[in-house]
A and B are shown apart, each in its own frame.
Chain A
Amino acid sequence: MAEVVEKKNLATETMTINGKTVSFSSGETILDVARRSGIYIPTLCARADLPSTGSCRLCIVKVEGVRGYVTSCTTPATPDMVVITNSDEIEKLRRGILELILSEHPYACLVCPIRETCEQFNAPSSKTGRVTGCNMCPNRNICELRQLVEYLGLKEIRYPFLYKDFPLERDDPFMDRDYNLCILCGRCIRVCEENLGLSAISFIRRGHDTKVGTSFEKLHVDGNCVFCMHCVDVCPTGALSVRGSKWYGYPDSETPTTCILCEQGCELVIDTKWNKVMGAHPIRDMSVGKREYCAKGRCCLPALFNNPDRLKYPAIRREDGKIIYTEWDSAINHVSNILSRYSPAEVAVLSSRHLTDESIYALNEFARIYAESNIFYIADDEIIFPNIEKSDEIFKDIKILYLAEANSLTNDTIEKFGSIENIIIQDIYPSSLSRSNKVCAIFPATVFTEMNGTKSFADNRRKPITKVAEPPGDAIPDWGITVRIGNALDSPDFRIKDFRSIQNHIQMHPWTISSVPMVPKDSLTYRGFPVSDFVPDFKIFIERRLKSKGEIHF
């Protein structure tokens, strides 16, 4: 795992950078010190959270008394060292270095005099396969090469462009690779080795032919890559990109939230545009230490949430048996009328591990008052009761089910129930159960990117869930649905009325949340739905990985 250098000692030594006296602690490099002191040194291969190799040479600085120039990313700071980072000579050298790097990278647009007008018309970039210039590059808006060209004021490249002519690598799920853009900085290799210990990629071949690749140049899906996309996120160029989310250009907003798909609770920034979730990526700030997220949160969210089959409107079954769409009020009334015919012992609630704490609490409160605490979860076909007094025994008396995860109920599980007369579903997609003629109402719920709240993850971490996009149609958060039904049934003991009251109650009864079973990191479902059903690349990935290795890890 990459670790920022632990500063055991307080900064006790001093040195001079550009005439300014700065303090440092032993073990830091000149680059570390400069960054900490707010002095900018351009880099390409160095990153705060990766070990340095000094291969790009852009960070060269002049150290007094040392012949030539040294790379600040690999040179340890020494007491009373005098460093110049930005003399004319150094800037000239840096431009020359960048020119050489760019001579093997499609540079035409970088130094084109009419680039601005062209990019006004071609916004976002043209969606091509082979990148021949910025106007067809998916990395255009965040490209570090462009930023360097700007910073160094590079206006012309004196070398003709040499195209390496590597074939495009587009046959893997999720990831597109165009190593004709690669500048061999090695960040991707370092992050795969250091961060994940996977070493799925390395420098292969040699000499001028050197490129980044897998062993035996197999497809990533046939190797041990887990498609976490950390390599894509450290790449300074557009050589690596996520196919499903590379072409939308500048997002309308970038909002951090927490991924709810498993117990890790990774922090992700969600890009939205046109009011939809378009992509997810880590915080781009260089000083973030450890990043950890997987293919699911990084690549699958847009396809998982934007599918046109999303439930949008509340629906109820009329007396004549037909399902009709209707308004919330009449749907809630319909359901509360049906529920009030049953005694609490006849009601059971299926909660979902993929709901926010507030939604889970609301279901628990509902179960406590209206279902005799008959609440359970389903995890990989196993039925889990958070209350130890409850067990399968309760099922024979159940006549009505209130489900927040309908797709987890298989035919075998339904067999356990005695005689179900009615089923209430709140969900995000139609499931096979939603077609059963016992279903009396279907409510459309939101996914975690469409609501605010909190979620408790492994190791007692509780993190915020932030709304980033509007839900489709009339969908509302799960807790909202439960609160409405609960209030319509009118028991004075049902204590929650709104978001605030739920949050207060969670504070008073934390056990309700801590008893929720965790979703393991290697889970393949969201709310009972297999992610493969909605994301074709995911299906390919897990099928091939299961076939070649028998197991899958993210």
Chain B
Amino acid sequence: MYELIEKSEIFNVHKMVIKAPEIASSIKPGQFVIIMGNEYSERIPITASDWNTDTGAITLYVLELGISTLELARMKVGDSLYVVTGPLGTPSEIKKYGTVALGSGCYGIGGIYPIAKACKEAGNKVISIIEARYSSMFYHEKELHAVSDQVLYATSDGSKGKKGKVEDVIGEMLEKGVKIDHAFFMGCTQMLERCSEATRPYAIPTKVALNSIMLDGTGMCGACRVSVGGETKFACVDGPEFDGHKVDWKELNRRRSAYTEQESVVYQSYSHECMAEKKLRQEL
């Protein structure tokens, strides 16, 4: 079950194509899955980037960011994941808005693709803006180009597109008078915050895909709770997308750093061969 049929890496972002036919046939843009590499892993929420109902495969872009994603990063084609649960979360609200700007960075470049595709299919003009530190870090570009009217780049070293970040590109567009009717952002928390601040003065409805720590993903624990407009919401059932102008970013950052101690302690007794040993035990 949940066999890994394709795997590649670009700068810590690991493309994992997994066989999960039931999820592939029912997942919608904006939804995510929760995966565990093995019995000892944490439950990790990952946005689904693509899915194929014929092959039954779903494509995930997993950013290596800790011990459980490290073990996922070290998996090889042919291995099986222990858990792939989904689809989870409320799907994106796709309407004919007019002109939609989609900004993303890091793992969001792959994650925003299904939303861009759906927006295009709903008749919107799609402007995709992607950022990375260096131009060699971009991925999934061909697919994004295929569903966007325009793809704009932002790099920290200026090697492709504008020298800067997504909010600089959007800020520039808005200053020039480009009309944007709706914005979606996906990326790290600081990026989401800065981009939301860029659209705020122009009162553009902005949705951000939040990356709270999650445990079950079905709304039964409250680990992923965020404050949006003063109300407490669960990112796994009410989200993962929320109004970017109302999110309490400080609280989100604090809650996301609740486990820094455990996250670094766990490496003390880690050994990469542990995975191989564990597999052996499972087979016995």
Contact = CB atoms under 8 A, between A and B. Distances in A.
- The answer to whether A and B touch in the complex, with CB atoms under 8 Å apart, is yes
B157 A247 contact: no
A536 interface: yes
A157 B157 contact: yes
Contacts of B64: 127-130
Contacts of B261: 248, 273-274
B157 A276 contact: no
B267 A247 contact: yes
B270 to A, nearest CB: 7
B170 to A, nearest CB: 16
B157 A163 contact: no
Nearest to B156: A108
Given A121-B253, A161-B133, A303-B268, 5 more contacts: A108-B156, A117-B190, A123-B257, A130-B12, A274-B261
Contacts of B73: 129
Chain A to chain B: the 8 pairs with minimum beta-carbon distance, closest first: A536-B271, A108-B156, A160-B159, A108-B133, A248-B264, A247-B264, A302-B268, A303-B269
Interface in A253-311: 273-274, 276, 278, 302-303, 306-307
Nearest to B160: A160
Interface in B113-148: 133-137
A232 interface: no
28 contacts: A106-B133, A107-B157, A108-B133, A108-B134, A108-B156, A112-B156, A121-B253, A123-B257, A124-B264, A127-B64, A127-B65, A127-B66, A128-B64, A129-B12, A133-B156, A160-B134, A160-B159, A161-B134, A161-B159, A163-B134, A243-B270, A244-B268, A244-B269, A247-B267, A278-B264, A302-B268, A303-B268, A540-B273
B172 interface: no
B265 interface: yes
B134 A132 contact: yes
A243 B12 contact: no
B97 interface: no
B251 interface: no
A165 to B, nearest CB: 8
SS class, residues of chain A in contact with chain B = loop
Contacts of A331: none
A488 to B, nearest CB: 37
Contacts of A130: 9, 11-12, 64
Given A129-B12, A129-B64, A535 B269 contact: yes
Contacts of B271: 173, 536-537, 539-540
Interface of A: 106-109, 112, 117-118, 121, 123-124, 126-130, 132-133, 136, 157, 160-161, 163, 165, 170-171, 173, 243-249, 273-274, 276, 278, 302-303, 306-307, 534-537, 539-540
A163 B267 contact: no
A458 to B, nearest CB: 29
Contacts of A249: 260, 264
Contacts of A106: 133-134
B274 interface: yes
Interface string B253-284: 10001001101110111111110000000000
B70 interface: yes
A265 to B, nearest CB: 24
Contacts of A306: 265, 268-269
A307 B260 CA distance: 18
B267 A121 contact: no
Interface string B229-271: 0000000000000000000000001000100110111011111
Contacts of A160: 134-135, 157-159
A163 B264 CA distance: 28
Contacts of B137: 132
Nearest to A242: B267
A124 B268 CA distance: 16
Contacts of A107: 157
A124 B134 contact: no
B263 A307 contact: no
Most buried by B among A112, A535, A537: A537
Nearest to B256: A121
A75 B190 CA distance: 48
A100 to B, nearest CB: 14
Contacts of B270: 243-244, 536
A87 to B, nearest CB: 30
Given A108-B133, A132-B12, A274-B261, A534 B156 contact: no
Contacts of B263: 127, 247
Contacts of A170: 272
Nearest to B66: A127
Interface in B158-187: 158-159
A128 to B, nearest CB: 5
B269 A534 contact: yes
Interface in B52-74: 63-67, 70, 73
Contacts of B267: 127, 243-247
A130 to B, nearest CB: 5
B80 interface: no
Most buried by B among A126, A136, A165: A126
B90 interface: no
A530 to B, nearest CB: 14
B189 interface: yes
Contacts of B133: 106, 108-109, 132-133, 161
Nearest to B74: A170
B245 to A, nearest CB: 19
Contact of B190 (A121, A163, A247): A121
Most buried by A among B67, B159, B272: B272
A78 to B, nearest CB: 43
Contacts of B257: 123
B47 to A, nearest CB: 18
A274 B264 CA distance: 11
A534 B268 CA distance: 10
A323 B159 CA distance: 68
A536 B12 CA distance: 25
A106 to B, nearest CB: 7
A354 to B, nearest CB: 20
Contacts of A173: 271
Contacts of A165: 136
A365 to B, nearest CB: 36
Contacts of B265: 248, 274, 276, 278, 302, 306
A543 to B, nearest CB: 10
A170 B133 CA distance: 23
A160 B160 CA distance: 9
Nearest to A112: B156
A157 B133 CA distance: 13
Interface string B1-15: 000000001011000
Contact of A307 (B189, B269, B272): B269
B156 A536 contact: no
Nearest to B137: A132
Interface in B191-241: none
A12 to B, nearest CB: 52
A123 B264 CA distance: 12
Contacts of A128: 12, 63-65
Contacts of B9: 130
